[in-house]
Structure 1
Amino acid sequence: MLVAERHRKIVEVVNEKLSVRVTELSKLFKVTEETIRRDLEKLEKENLLRRSHGGAVSIQDEQSEVSYTEREITNAAEKKAIALEAVKLIMPGDQIVLDASTSAWYMAKEMPDLPLTVITNSIKVAVELSKKEQVKVISTGGMLLARSLSYAGPLAERSLNMYHVNKAFISCKGVHLEGGLSDSNEWQALLKRQMMSIADQTILLADSTKFGVRTFAHITNIGQVSSILTDSKIDDSYSRALEEKGVQVKTVKVAE
C-alpha cells in the first residue's frame, strides 16, 4: 500500500470510529507503531485528525455535538465498566448531579433504587431514573439540544444555582494535563463547569482515548477534579502525571 493511500485510509478509520489507538492502526495496516505515529503527526499537521495520548481522534464536526446514537456505540464496553465503578461511590441519601454523557446514562441504568436526589440536564438519564421509586429526579430545564437529548444554556445554568450536591459525575471530550477538561459544545462546557461548582467533589468519567486530547470548549483545569475513573488502557505515565497534580486516578478492567 502506498503511503498516501495509507494516510487516506487512516483518516477514514478515525472518522468512522471517532477515536482509534496506535496499536489498532499498526495491526490494521501491518506497519510498525512508530510508522503510525509519524503518519498521525503528519495528518495532524494537515488538520485531518487530532492526535491523542496513544492514538488519534476525529475532528469532523468538532464544534458540534456528536449524536447520542453515535456516542452510545463508541467505546461502549469501557463506558459501561467505568459507570459500574462510579455507581459504587453513591451512598443512600446522597445528592448528586449527572451530566448528559452516555457514561451518566449507563450509571442511571445500573444505579440501585436508593433514596437519592439526582439533578441532571439529560432527558435519557431522567427517563431511566424515573423507573426507580426512591430516586428523586430534578431536571435543569433550558434550551433543548436535540442531538444530545439534553438541556443547556443560561436557564439550565441558573437553575443549578439553587442547589448544592455531594458529588458531580461528569464526562467530557478531552482531558489534557495543561489544557484541562474540554468539550465539543460551548453550552455543555459551561453547564458542566457550573455542575462542578455546586458539588463537594467531582468524579470525572473518561475512557482512555480522551487523555491527551484538547477540544473546542474549555471546561476547567485538571486541579478542579477530585478523582478520575478510566479504563486500564490509559498510559501509566499519563496516570502518574495526573496523580502528581493531585488527582486520584482509578482504572477499571474491561471485559474482552
Structure 2
Amino acid sequence: MLVAERYEKIVQLVNERGSIRVTELSELCGVTEETIRRDLDRLEDSGRLRRSHGGAVSVKDQPFSWRSQPEIPFTEREIMHAEEKQRIAEEAVKQIEPHQRILLDASSTAWYMARLIPDYPLTVLTNSIKVAAELSGKEKIEVISTGGILAHRSLSFVGPLAERSLDSYHVDKAFLSFKGVHVERGLSESNELQARIKHKMIGMADQVILLADASKFGVQAFTKVADLERVNTIITDQRLATTEAEPFIKRGIRMISV
C-alpha cells in the first residue's frame, strides 16, 4: 500500500467510526504503530483528523472556515515530539553568534531555543509571548516584541499591527517553523493570519533557518506561506529518511539532522 493510499484509508476509517486507536490502525494497515503515529501527526497537521490519546478522532462534523484551520494549543504543541524539538533547538542555538540580530517565531521549538540561548549580547525579535517571557531573565539580550492581536491558542501576536511592526526591522537570521513542509508546494500554515506574518518574517532576514521535526515533511497545511527558495538551512531530526531529505538538498538547502 502506497503512503497516500494509507492516508486515505486512515481518514476513511476515522470518519466512519468517529474515533479509532493506533493499535487497531496498525493491524488494519499492516504497518508499525510508530508509522501510524507519524501518519496521524501529518494528517492532523493537514486538518484531516484530530489526534487523541492513543488514537485519532474525526473532524468531519466540526465547523470549518475557509480562512483557517484550528491551531493546536501551545500547551499541546510543546509536548508533541518534545525530544526531537529539544535536539533541533540545541543545534539551532549553535547557529547564533553574539551581537547578531535574530528572529524567533511563536513555535514551540523557538521556545525551546529561548530556554537554551546563553545570556550574551543579542537582539531577539519575536511575536511570541512565551519566547519573550523566557528571555526576560537574560539581561544581556535585548528583546523586541511585535505586539498585535493575541492569538490565544498559539500565544502569539498576529494581524496588521504585528505585520507592520516587522517593516521597521531587519535581522541576520530568522528561525521559523511551519505546519507543513513540502518539496513542490513549499511552506504552509494552519491559518491565514499565521501565514501572513510568517511570510513577512521570511522577507526580513538574511538567512532563513527552518526548524522542522520529521512529522512536518510531506504535509500541505491550509494556507501557503512561501516557496522553498528562501530557505537556507533546515534543521530536522533523524526520523526523516535520507530519501525524503534528498529533494531538499538538490534544491541547494543545507540539511542538518540531529
Task: State TM-score, norm by structure 2.
Answer: 0.79
Counterpart CA distance in 2 for 1:48 and 1:121 is 24
- 1:29 counterpart = 2:41: no
Counterparts of 1:117-132 in structure 2 under 5 Å? 117-132=123-138
- 2:121 matched residue in structure 1: 115
Matched, 1:101 2:99: no
Identify unmatched segments of 5+ residues in structure 2. Answer: 1-8, 50-55, 63-67
Matched-pair contact (CA < 8 Å) for 2:207–2:231: yes
Q: Which residue does the alignment assign to 1:134?
A: 140
CA deviations over 1:191-245 (Å, ceiling 9, x no partner)? 1111111100000000001100000011100111011000011021120111111
Please name the residue that 2:220 is paired with. 214
Query: What is the CA distance between 1:58 and its match in structure 2?
Result: 8.4
Q: Deviations over 1:93-118 (max 9, x none)?
A: 00001100000000000110010000
- Conserved? CA contact 2:71–2:153, under 8 Å: yes
Aligned to 1:173: 179
Partner of 1:224: 230
1:125-170 CA-to-partner distances (Å, cap 9, x unmatched) read 0000001010000000011111111100111011000011000000
CA 1:116/1:212 → structure 2, altered by over 3 Å: closer, same or farther?
same
The match for 1:54 is: none
Cα deviation per residue 1:66-88 (whole Å; 9 max; x = unaligned)?
A: 11111111111111110010000
Match of 1:144 among 139, 150, 159: 150
Partner SS, residue 73 of structure 1: coil
Q: Over aligned residues, Cα RMSD in angstroms? A: 3.0
Partner residue of 1:244 out of 232, 235, 250:
250
Match among 174, 188, 194 for residue 188 of structure 1: 194
Separation of aligned partners in 1, 2:181 and 2:57: 15
* Runs of 4+ with deviation above 2 angstroms: 6-14, 28-34, 47-50, 57-62
Please point out which of 47, 66, 70 is paired with 1:64.
70
Number of matched residues?
Answer: 226
Matched, 1:234 2:233: no
* Structure 1 residue 13 displacement after superposition: 4.5
Query: Aligned partners of 1:211, 1:10: CA distance in 2, in Å?
Result: 26
Summarize the Cα distance change of 1:12–1:75 in structure 2 as closer, same or farther, 3 Å threshold.
farther
Q: Equivalent residue for 2:4?
A: none
In structure 1, the gaps of 5 or more residues are: 15-23, 51-56
- TM-score of the two chains, using structure 1 as the length reference: 0.80
